[in-house]
């Protein structure tokens, strides 16, 4: 009986009244003035930064996206971020940034960390997911790593006690722990995510990581519809490389988040395709989600073969942040089509294409 009904159902499905495929998407109703071009601060940065930010500029121009860039030259060997750059970001509220190289050792502090502190960009978000058509060891990976961005081991509180003995302080506060936990649960709630996992080492750092966990537990009680669990950071790394699909949203202190995000990025396709950003109450800076040392890759710069996909997807996040959702959708769809087609891929994705060839393919796929 059931088998005989299948042909009939197929015939009914072809009738106009039974065709449930929507003819158009749900209309987005902008507020008056939402289409006015928005200024975005642009920091090309070091190494591959100018290549990939230039790629974004080309795509935005091809899309006729309602924004324009205010460009500033900032480099990792500077003593600090120039004041005019800080003021530009405070005025525009949004920045797109290439990577800034951080010198190893010495007395030069990271300009990336300076920027986050100056603007109080307390939440770092990296989305690690499988792209259609890109082969990886694991499937069904869709992890969002939300990392506290302003304290922890990155506080920079170090001094030499006596010659040959250095003390480095890890600072954890209830205020910062609570607000990053709130951001993680709010993100999960707004994006229909089902679970938040807190990453910690409270079995050893009982006071510092213990305070972080206590804050996460308190916030979790306000979101009964979202499952909450905890995992020790070393076990987390092992679980990531063996069963990454078990994770959804992960909330972490500063250092752990950097390690976890780069690990998750490597599992899902590499740092060249993972978008990310840093956000605070008043400002947002969008950049490649996980860098893992490719900022200063001389060969990529000389051959002009840096992968622009991560920053393109980060700029799509930026467009959505600016309330230009249709432009974000077009850009993401075009990038996914190019990756899925497989003809134009940079070396890190198994291809031989240059940055410009990938960009030309994305622009051709926009329409």
Task: Give me the residue label for tokens 């969002």.
Answer: 144
Q: Write the burial class of residue 140 (CB in 10 Å: 0-12 exposed, 13-18 middle, 19+ buried).
A: exposed
Q: Determine the Cα–Cα distance for residues 201 and 221; give it in Å rounded to an integer.
A: 22
118 and 229 together in one domain? no
Task: Please list, in sequence order, all residues whose beta carbon lies within 8 angstroms of the beta carbon of residue 104, skipping any fewer than 6 positions away.
Answer: none
Tell me, yes or no, whether 117 and 144 share the same domain: no
CATH assignment of the domain containing 203: 3.40.50
- For residue 294, what is the domain's CATH number? 3.40.718.10
DSSP 171: B
Q: For 26, which DSSP code?
A: P
Local confidence pLDDT in tens for the 367 residues of the chain? 344 444 443 444 444 444 444 455 567 788 898 889 999 999 998 989 999 999 999 999 999 999 999 999 998 888 899 999 999 999 999 999 998 887 766 555 788 888 998 999 999 999 999 999 999 999 999 999 999 999 988 777 788 899 999 988 899 999 999 999 999 999 999 999 999 999 999 999 999 999 999 999 999 999 999 999 999 999 999 999 999 999 999 999 999 999 999 999 999 998 899 999 999 999 999 999 887 556 667 788 788 899 999 999 999 999 999 999 999 999 999 999 999 999 999 998 999 999 999 999 999 999 7
Q: Which residue among 268, 286, 312 closes a domain?
A: 268
342 shares a domain with 299: yes
Domain membership flag for residue 70? yes
Q: Is 194 in the same domain as 253? A: yes
> Per-residue pLDDT tens for 31-80?
898 889 999 999 998 989 999 999 999 999 999 999 999 999 998 888 89
pTM above 0.75, yes or no: yes
What rounded mean pLDDT belongs to the chain? 89
User: 196 Cβ partners below 8 Å, 6+ apart?
Assistant: 184, 185, 188, 216, 220, 223, 226, 227, 228, 229, 248, 249, 250, 251
Nearest Cα to Cα of residue 306 among 356, 344, 255, 269? 356
What's the total number of domains in the chain?
2
104 shares a domain with 85: yes
Residues 325-342 pLDDT 10s:
999 999 999 999 999 999
Cα 313 to Cα 353: distance, rounded to the nearest angstrom = 18
Query: What is the extent of the structural domain holding 97?
Result: 36-126+274-366
Digit-coded pLDDT (tens) for 236-265: 999 999 999 999 999 999 999 999 999 999
């Amino acid at each position: 009986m059931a088998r005989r009904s299948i042909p009939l159902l197929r015939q009914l499905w072809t009738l106009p009244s039974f065709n449930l495929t929507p003819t158009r998407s749900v209309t987005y109703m902008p507020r008056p003035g939402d289409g006015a071009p928005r200024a975005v601060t642009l920091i090309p940065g070091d190494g591959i930064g100018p290549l990939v930010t230039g790629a974004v500029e080309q795509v935005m121009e091809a899309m006729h996206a309602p924004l324009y860039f205010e460009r500033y030259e900032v480099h990792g060997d500077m003593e600090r971020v120039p004041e005019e750059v800080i003021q530009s970001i405070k005025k525009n509220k949004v920045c797109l940034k290439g990577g800034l190289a951080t010198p190893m050792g010495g007395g030069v502090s990271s300009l990336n960390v300076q920027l986050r502190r100056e603007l109080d960009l307390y939440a770092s978000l990296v989305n690690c997911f499988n792209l259609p058509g890109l082969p990886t060891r694991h499937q069904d990976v869709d992890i969002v790593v939300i990392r506290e961005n302003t304290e922890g081991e990155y506080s920079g509180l170090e001094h030499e006690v006596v010659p040959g003995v250095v003390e480095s302080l890890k600072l954890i506060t209830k205020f910062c722990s609570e607000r990053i936990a709130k951001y993680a649960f709010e993100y999960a709630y707004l994006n229909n995510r089902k679970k938040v996992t807190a990453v910690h080492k409270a079995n050893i750092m009982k006071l510092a990581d213990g305070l972080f966990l206590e804050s996460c537990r308190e916030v979790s009680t306000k979101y009964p519809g979202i499952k909450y669990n905890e995992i020790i950071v070393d076990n987390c790394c092992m679980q990531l490389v063996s069963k990454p699909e078990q994770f959804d949203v992960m909330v972490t202190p500063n250092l752990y988040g950097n390690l976890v995000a780069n690990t998750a990025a490597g599992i899902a396709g590499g740092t060249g395709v993972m978008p990310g950003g840093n956000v605070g109450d008043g400002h947002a800076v969008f950049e490649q989600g996980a860098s893992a040392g490719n900022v200063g890759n001389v060969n990529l710069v000389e051959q002009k073969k840096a992968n622009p996909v991560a920053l393109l997807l980060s700029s799509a996040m930026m467009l959505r942040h600016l309330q230009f959702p249709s432009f974000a959708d077009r850009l993401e769809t075009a990038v996914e089509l190019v990756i899925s087609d497989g003809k134009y891929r940079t070396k890190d994705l198994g291809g031989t294409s240059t940055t410009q060839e990938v960009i030309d393919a994305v622009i051709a796929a926009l329409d």
